[in-house]
Amino acid sequence: MSIVKKMLLKIKLKSEHLILSSFFLLGLILGLIGLELIVPGSYWNFKYQLESGFNSDNIQSIILPKAGNIVSDNISRLLPISQIAQKLTVTKKNTLIAAEYISPGIVPVKQSITPVSIQPVISQALNICKDANCMYYPIDKTYVLSPNYIPAIINTGLPGGNKLSPVAVGPLSELFAAAHKVGLNPIIYSGYRSYSEQSALFNSIVNQNIAKGYNQQQAIQLANYHSALPGHSEHQLGLAADVGCVGCSYLDQTSSSNNTVWQFLQANAHKYGFVISYPINSEALTGYMYEPWHIRYIGVNLATELYNEGYLTGNGKYLSQFLILKKLYT
């Protein structure tokens, strides 16, 4: 490079540095006197800290005061660089959650924050089980159980505990015994869940999604892919269980030990009357993610019939469709 080109490059770099430094200084001065300087494409990551022992998953949103045309309505929102967040503290007193936000030129405010609580309305468009025993009812996005549906349940006495319908406990015990014979150690992660328990679980997942930055609609849609709305869960039947391996992380699909147990379920569950409700490559049909751990009891004959139809291969057949066609309910 020639001496002239080197000199021109040095002058250019110094000029750019001077311009950027001046621009930043101007923004800082305007910020201190409470004026907005919005730099397109430049953002300051919104920072917050939580009081010790407080779970951030319970936060729905933090409403900040408007500053010009800027307002933050979610804890994950990025703020313009000119609106530097100096302090944001979150406190919890009983059930009240309050947030305090302090920024140059803006009067601190406190806002109450209420976690989202989804209360689905059972409309006439949904099919509600009218039987005293809904054992063969096709629970899915449109076939639901009443909030008042409470089956008879007993302790399973199996690793993980939990409760299930008496008709399912014996067969599940036999399934576990068969697994033990081949060196596996299955455990029940989750069994019977009441309508209210499912509601609490679903709302918890929604609020976790919101805390990750999703808006409420997105949070609900994502939750309803991984979990069921209350009334739409097979766990309320007392016939469904989530199964994994002893000592494994709950529903950890990267665990080889979990996967070995789930492979055993796919190959053997039907022999004891269980089916995998949400098989592989059926997400677009069931509306739920693939859940190799989730099994439901429908009896040996029906479970074997569905197994022989090849539903575990992702051929488009799945449990709720199968039960709708069988129509063993009123």
Question: Which residues are known to be catalytic?
Answer: 291
**CA 98 to the chain's CA centroid:** 25
What does the block give as tokens for 234? 């097979």
Contacts of 36 (CB under 8 A, 6+ apart): 30, 67, 68, 70, 80, 82, 83
C-alpha distances in Å from residue 10, one per residue of 1, 7, 20, 22, 318: 13, 5, 15, 18, 69
Instruction: Enumerate residues 6+ apart whose C-beta is below 8 A from 149.
Output: 129, 134, 195, 236
Label the pairing between strands 294-297 and 143-144: unpaired
Smallest CA-to-CA distance from 231 within 150, 315, 329 is with 150
Tell me, what amino acid is at 141? K
Q: Which helix (H) or strand (E) holds 108?
A: strand 106-112
Cα separation, 203 vs 210, in Å, equals: 11
Interatomic CA distance for residues 187 and 272, integer angstroms: 16
